[in-house]
Chains A and B, each alone.
Chain A
Amino acid sequence: MTDLIERPVSTSDGDNVDHGTETSHHHDHHGPTGIMKWLTSTDHKVIGLSYTVTSLIMMIIGGAFAEIIRAQLVSPTSNLVSFSQYNELFTMHGSVMIYLFVGPFAFAGLANYLIPIQIGAPDMAFPRLNAFSYWLYLTGSITMLSGFLVGGGAANFGWVGYAPLSSAANSPGTGADLWICALLLTGFSAIFSGVNLVATIFYLRAPGMTLFRMPIFTWNMLVTGILILLAFPVLTAGLIMLYCDRHFGTHIYTVQGGGVPLLWQHIFWFWGHPEVYILALPFFGIVTEIFPVFSKKPVFGYRGMVFATLTIAALSLGVWAHHMFTTGAVLLPFFSIMSLLIAVPTGIKMFNWIGTMWGGKVHYSTAMLMSMGFLFTFLIGGITGIFLASPPLDFFTHDTYYVVAHFHSVVMALVMGALAGIYFWAPKMTGHMMHEGIGKIQFWFLFIGTQLFTFPLYLVGLHGMPRRMANYPINPSWQTLNEWGSVGAILIGISMVLFLVNVIYSWKKPVVAGDNPWDGHTLEWFTTSPPPSHNFLSLPPIHSERPTWDYNHPDHLAIEHNHKKQAKKSAKASAASDAS
């Protein structure tokens, strides 16, 4: 072992640890700076940051819509916004959050920045395609939001755009067309990102970085990339057919011309359910990077974790119709068992995260608190999701606030994962620490706000309140529960303001982070903060999924799983004789 450390794989003749100054020189002499650098760059780090910042702006816009929705629902007869404005608001809230924030933040923002560094590559496989992908995404985002500026307002048929409500007859107006075009643009952007992720991970890994030495975040992004390639083209095709129905006289989704409205739901959810995991897997990856670092242990059950990710991805392609149980037109038992089975690999992940902390030295950094918040919130969201996999239970909760609460538990867990990732990697990306104190206050607002927001919504849903209602029957218990939900939403809003405060504070009063502020495990912590152009001047030897840790702590390598096999066997034998 020590022998290898003395002769690291090196891409330069220089010192393999202290190489920061040399790099930045190298970088400054080449290429444009400032706005021109941002506009013309094909560097994965610049594009990754552009994605991250743009998607966070989208989160704030989508969050503002949510606050208006919650304000409207404080009173059963509120007329803060009109019915049609309300329909636009929840449609755009869902669309902005799903299409423009959660996905792009993870599989294009963080992944773009981190994947090449985690596998020891100089850039993504197709840097120009990568840049094109970002510009498509930005154009698509602007296209979608511009719906508010046209006559008739933005799209108002829900983020799922069910046919035939989304037809030209039922939803005339340019807003709907802009929505379709925006999804086509961001859809292609996602497909190109997927191509790039898969190609990069398969072809640009550093010597020694075998598949089973990749960090879990990279593994999850590989699987996400494959899922994107399987799912997004289906949505894109479906949208083109919808556009043809609206403008070119086809009747693919209309009964009048012999079409089948239900087809849209099949196409949409065939994309939509893998999409749920396209959204979730990157955030599973984020927290799987954070738990080990702040427990000072390797991730528990690394191979099981990879197996679980692959299983989730495989199953996710066969569960789309659990969104359609109440159509009366799908095979209930098949989609029920497939959906229930996803609980198994998801449970494995849950226990592996707990197992990673178990017996470790747990440090309560902001990133770790956010990850713990993720763990709890995702447990709630995951368990309530199992109920929805059972058709009889889905029948009476479908399209009620129970479902809304379920997926908000899940996505709020993802938001905590996103913030965990930001607090964890911001020092690497900017070279400066985020303020931990403000971060912890933000965490508590976010965590308490999330539970206060979702728990009443579960109950009001079980009391029979459907989703997507601008007003609701005058019923004291419904109103009280909605008021609590809105209080939760306000706390979440405050936490986001605190986040912006933290960003500005950390920017104005920079604290230099250094290369490896958290005693990180993976390759990104081996290079400078921020990394130089093309990321590395030298690499450590790669013998496990945490080369930087192995390099820094050669006496604390991960313990192999069969080192005590013999001892286990005898213990088992004695236990068996005891019981019988």
Chain B
Amino acid sequence: MEETLSQLESAQESVADRSPRTKKRALALAIAAPLLLGGCELPSFGAFHGVTKTANSTFKLWQGFNVTAIVVGGITLLAMIWAIFAYRAKDKTSIPKQTQYHIPLELTYTIIPIFIVIGLFAATVVVENQVVDEPAPNATINVTAFQWGWKFTYPGHKAVVVGQTTQSPIMVMPENKNVLINLRSTDVIHGFYVPEFNFSRYAQPGLLNTFTFNANKTGMFDAQCTQLCGLYHTLMYFRVNVVSQAKFDAWLRAKDASTTQQEVIDANSAIALENNAGVAVNPTKSNGDGAN
């Protein structure tokens, strides 16, 4: 890594005086940097490591972008600080050399960024193809967003979880399985966002959105609506409970065997399933009307 930094640095500063070969090597490194460094032990730069397969890939991409940003931004910042402090005028009248152009230098800082951008784009496409990929599903969940809550149904099963605002309905899903999500909205646009899945997608009226999660960690994860959807947008929470396949099957069987009608607000039974990784949710008023 150390070497990459210095290579990039020198490439940025003085390619004009270097051989084309060194230039090429520096460029190759500039492109490869985000990809290579994605594998190293790097800080999280503030983001979640992610608890699904694609969330992990997204996280690595995030790290790669950050390393590139720090290298490029750092060089720019150093140049900026140097220009600001080193050339401070000592008197009011003296006039410096009236340099206006340095074509090789200008070309350098046009061409190198193009290669960096191509590198970033290549890494983006690789990860993006994983994230939007739709492998054969092991389980399917229909998610319907409405003002101001969520409804989760499981095709072929009787299980239905509905909840509004701070009731925080819970979406139960199995671990290490491809879970296909069919996302819809009944009214306005909502945002289906699970921070630790490093993913969000709009729920839109008249438009079906599908995507796949493959969670690799059990537990309860906070989630909520991200797209402004009206008065109680602020309170439109839900949670995702990732459980083992056995527990998931047991839960579905229990629901199927249940004689009660299908539409139940079922947050409590889902919580009872396991896991006390509860979160403090905003205790302010919950809305009485709305919902289906």
Question: A residues engaging B (CB < 8 A)?
Answer: 76-77, 79, 83-84, 86-87, 157-158, 162, 164-165, 170, 255, 260-262, 295-304, 326-329, 332-333, 336-337, 340-341, 343-344, 347-348, 350-352, 354-355, 357-364, 372, 375-376, 379-380, 383-384, 386-387, 390-393, 395-396, 398-400, 458-459, 462-464, 466-475, 553, 556-561, 568, 571-572, 575-576, 578-580
- Chain A residues positioned under 8 Å from B97 (CB to CB): 297, 359, 559
Known: A354-B76, A396-B199. A344 touches B228 (CB 8 A): no
- The interface-forming segment of B86-94, B151-159, B254-262 is B86-94
**Contact: B120 with A296, CB < 8 Å?**
no
A-chain residues with CB within 8 Å of residue B124 when the two chains form the complex: 333, 336, 340, 390-393
Q: Which residue of A lies closest to B120 (CB)?
A: A340
**Within 8 Å CB of A468, what residues of B?**
228, 233-234
- The docked-state distance in angstroms from the alpha carbon of A553 to that of B230 is 62
Which one of B125, B207, B228 contacts A162 once the chains associate, using CB atoms below 8 Å? B228
Chain B proximity of A511: nearest CB distance (Å): 17
Q: How far is the CB of B26 from chain A (nearest CB, A)?
A: 12
A327 close to B127 (CB less than 8 A): no
Which residues of chain A are within 8 angstroms of B279 by Cβ–Cβ distance? 473
Contact mask B172-195 → A, CB, 8 Å, 1/0? Answer: 000000000000000111010101
Question: Given A170-B187, A302-B100, A561-B101: A466 and B110 within 8 A (CB)?
Answer: no
Instruction: Tell yes or no: B245 within 8 A of A by CB.
Output: no
Q: Which of B82, B200, B205 has the most A CB atoms < 10 Å from its CB?
A: B200
Task: For the complex, give the distance between the alpha carbons of A474 and B237 in Å.
Answer: 13
In the complex, whether B57 has a CB less than 8 A from a CB of chain A is yes
The 10 A-B residue pairs whose C-beta atoms are closest, nearest first, are A464-B195, A561-B101, A255-B206, A579-B19, A399-B226, A361-B89, A357-B83, A462-B46, A396-B198, A466-B226
Indicate the member of B100, B109, B279 with the most A CB atoms within 10 Å: B100
Q: How far is the CB of A304 from chain B (nearest CB, A)?
A: 5
* CB-CB under 8 A for A261 and B205, given A295-B87, A473-B279, A559-B100: yes
With both chains docked as a complex, state the minimum distance between the C-beta of A551 and any C-beta of chain B, in angstroms: 14
Chain A nearest CB, measured from B66 CB (Å):
8
Contact B191 A466, beta carbon cutoff 8 Å: yes
Would you give the shortest CB distance from A547 to chain B, in whole angstroms? Answer: 15
Contact assessment for B226 and A362 in the assembled complex, using a CB-CB cutoff below 8 Å? no
**CB within 8 Å of A: which residues of B?**
16-22, 45-48, 54-55, 57-58, 61-62, 65, 69, 72-73, 76-77, 79-80, 82-84, 87-90, 92, 94-106, 109-110, 113-114, 117, 120-121, 124-125, 127-128, 131-132, 187-189, 191, 193, 195-202, 204-207, 209-211, 222, 224-235, 237, 279-284
Q: Which residues of A contact B82 (CB under 8 A)?
A: 358
List chain B residues, Cβ under 8 A from A158. Answer: 228
Q: Which of B79, B211, B222 has the most CB of A within 10 A?
A: B79
Q: In angstroms, how far is the closest chain A Cβ from the Cβ of B264?
A: 25
* A165 pairs with B189, CB closer than 8 A: yes
Closest Cβ neighbor of B77 among chain A residues: A379
Give B92 Cβ to nearest chain A Cβ, in Å.
8
Contacts of A392 in B (CB 8 A): 54, 57-58, 61, 124, 127-128, 131, 198
From A157, A255, A474, give the contact of B280 (CB < 8 A).
A474
Q: How far is the CA of A79 from the CA of B284 in the complex (A)?
A: 10
Is B98 within 8 A of A387, CB to CB? no
